Amino acid sequence: MTRKIAIVGRLGVYPMMRLSLPGRRLLAYLALQRQPVARALASAHLWPNAGEEAGRANLRRALWHVPRGWIRALGDELALDAQCDLEHAHRVAAQALAGEALTLDDIALLSGDLLPGWHEEWVLAHYDAFRILRVQALEAACRTLTALGQHDLATQAGAAALAAEPLRESAAEALIDAHLAQRNRYQAVQCFRLLAQRLDDELGVEPDPALARRVGELAHARTHAH
């Protein structure tokens, strides 16, 4: 049976069997590291307020809660021995940034944050980096899919990028271009207006003047058409 762990876009760790919280924390930690980790370092990160001996004891108990075969020991190091959706997400993001088209499933995978609802420092250290990566990838996918004429997927990717970073003007521009490629001028203008409102509310600034002019011309043409 293939061992799989999901930590992207979920409220916990999803292995193929029910695990205790210590087991889930250890699996999630090793999944985030993406490489073997020394036991002392793992225990220090997972139980920062415990002493060295107590931390190692906690680590041994957590290992006992993880079924055999999910974690492999490499001397004094531990490594995840299962497939993880984070690795898949990194591969998909690399493909998008290289200009390759994404599927709807790929877009869905990149639409989720790492371990949402987990606020421990060892999670937050990876959270921002992954969010930046996935937003960049979704925006790139939006532009690539628009250029390929796959407009439905392009708007999905653009909307996901903007949902993750509502103040990201380049993502809004990519989504606006995707709407315009479908001749959905109303949605393009609405997207811009929502961006402008958010920028004003949060930062007290206006959108990029070049984008404002482009959308302003659309709105002006729409007004004159009536």
Of the residues 81, 98, 121, the one at which a domain ends? 81
How would you write the pLDDT of the chain (226 residues) with one tens digit per residue? 568 899 998 877 877 557 888 999 999 999 999 999 999 999 999 999 998 899 999 999 999 989 888 999 999 999 999 999 999 999 999 999 999 999 999 999 999 999 998 999 999 989 999 999 999 999 999 999 999 999 999 999 999 999 999 999 999 999 999 999 999 999 999 999 999 999 999 999 999 999 888 887 776 655 444 4
- Do residues 203 and 175 both lie within one domain? yes
Contacts for 53 with CB less than 8 Å, ≥ 6 apart: none
Q: How does strand 71-74 pair with strand 77-80?
A: antiparallel
Predicted pLDDT of residue 162 = 97
Radius of gyration in angstroms for the set of CA atoms belonging to the chain, rounded to a whole number: 22
* Residue 82 Cα to chain centre, angstroms: 20
Domain final residue pick, 31, 52, 81: 81
- pLDDT value of residue 224: 47
pLDDT at 219: 61
Spatial separation of the C-alpha atoms in residues 21 and 63, rounded to whole Å: 11
* Contact indicator for 121, 32 with CB cutoff of 8 Å: no
Same domain? 50 vs 98: no
Are 132 and 62 contained in the same domain? no
Task: Give the SS3 label for residue 40.
Answer: helix
Name the pTM for this structure: 0.89
What's the CA gap between 34 and 36, in Å, rounded?
Answer: 7
Cα separation values, 154 from 165, 170, 173, Å: 17, 14, 12
Do residues 119 and 102 share a domain? Answer: yes
Same domain, 30 and 103: no
Two tokens, residue 213? 């002019």
- The number of distinct structural domains making up the chain is 2
CA distance linking residue 30 with residue 113, whole number of Å: 17
